[in-house]
Amino acid sequence: MDNCIFCKIIKREIPAKIVYENGNFIAFEDIEGVAPIHLLCIPKKHIENFLEYPSSDMVDMSNFIKETAKEIGLDNKGFRMVSNIKEDSGQSVFHLHFHLIGGAKLKWDKLV
């Protein structure tokens, strides 16, 4: 997608604080973080959301998120992983992404 902000980050057309990356995925800091550590983990291939992502590819995505959590030290203390799907959930960038949130004791506030 030419106008997708995450695709532009992948192509290095706009800056981002990249934390971890491999051939198929990239993790970078969320510019509107809600915790001391708030990363976005995304596939490099443009996929709109979780519903569009092939189930067979979820193994690789899951492994990347685990590797990222370990790389930044969240695997010992814990973290939250969230993916918003479509408008009603709050998805604002229509490129599949998982929020990896941690670095503090997290609360669970009302969702609506």
Active-site amino acid positions: 97
Task: Give the contacts of 96 (CB within 8 A, at least 6 positions apart).
Answer: 42, 43, 47, 48, 49, 50, 52, 53, 83
Q: Is the sign of the CA dihedral 36, 19, 29, 90 positive or negative?
A: negative
Contact 65, 19 (CB under 8 A): no
